[in-house]
């Protein structure tokens, strides 16, 4: 990453504009809040080009059954501004989220709901499909991806 590119922790409020614009354009800004956004263990990351926030992601402690007492982390709200997509920014955000989750204690697991069209992206980071395809109206077909957290996640870049 160059001096003009940084990935760093951000506040939940900083995620809302991109969540709204990219992920939930037909909903209100208030609809962009997730139930566990403000829990202390939740980690929000932003990708900045110069001083512009152009990518975001969130990882929170939540198992697929909704419980929060296990070393299971969920990725939510990954978004990159449309003009910056296809440049590897999503991978840098995902790596930062995985690194944070791994730093909170191993062994552990990480998972997400992802669009079917993102399967190749998640596979490049070691995720596998762990559910059947399901529909998320009005977004379209999704599946659950998951993988174990590993020691090498602590130092990946």
Q: Please give the sequence-ordered ranges of beta strands (E in DSSP) within 2-149, or none if there are none.
A: 5-9, 43-49, 52-61, 72-80, 108-115, 128-129, 134-136, 140-149
Residue 50 belongs to what domain range?
5-154
In tens, the pLDDT along 124-150 reads 999 999 999 999 887 889 999 999 999
| Region 98-124 average pLDDT | 96
Into how many domains does the chain fold?
1
44, 12 Cβ separation under 8 angstroms: yes
Other Cβ atoms less than 10 A from the Cβ of 130: the count is 13
pLDDT at 1 over 60: no
The more confident residue out of 130 and 26 is 130
Confidence at residue 31, expressed as pLDDT on a 0 to 100 scale: 87
Average pLDDT along the chain? 94
CATH number of the domain at 93, please.
3.40.630.30
The dihedral over CA atoms of 62, 22, 118, 131, expressed in degrees to the nearest 10, equals 40
The dihedral over CA atoms of 43, 84, 82, 46, expressed in degrees to the nearest 10, equals 10
Confidence at residue 49, expressed as pLDDT on a 0 to 100 scale: 93
pLDDT at 157 over 80: no
| Region 32-57 average pLDDT | 96
């Amino acid at each position: 990453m160059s001096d003009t590119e940084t990935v760093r922790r951000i506040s939940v409020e900083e995620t809302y504009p991109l969540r709204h614009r990219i992920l939930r354009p037909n909903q209100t800004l208030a609809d962009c809040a997730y139930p566990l956004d403000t829990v202390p263990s939740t980690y929000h990351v932003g990708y900045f080009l110069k001083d512009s926030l152009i990518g975001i992601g969130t990882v929170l402690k939540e198992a697929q059954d909704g419980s929060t007492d296990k070393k299971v982390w969920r990725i939510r709200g990954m978004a990159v501004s449309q003009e910056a997509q296809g440049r590897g920014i999503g991978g840098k955000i995902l790596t930062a989220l995985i690194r944070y989750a791994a730093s909170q204690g191993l062994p552990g697991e990480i998972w997400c709901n992802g669009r079917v069209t993102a399967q190749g992206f998640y596979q490049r980071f070691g995720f596998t499909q762990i559910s059947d395809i399901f529909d998320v109206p009005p977004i379209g077909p999704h599946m659950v991806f998951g993988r174990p957290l590993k020691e090498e996640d602590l130092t990946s870049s």
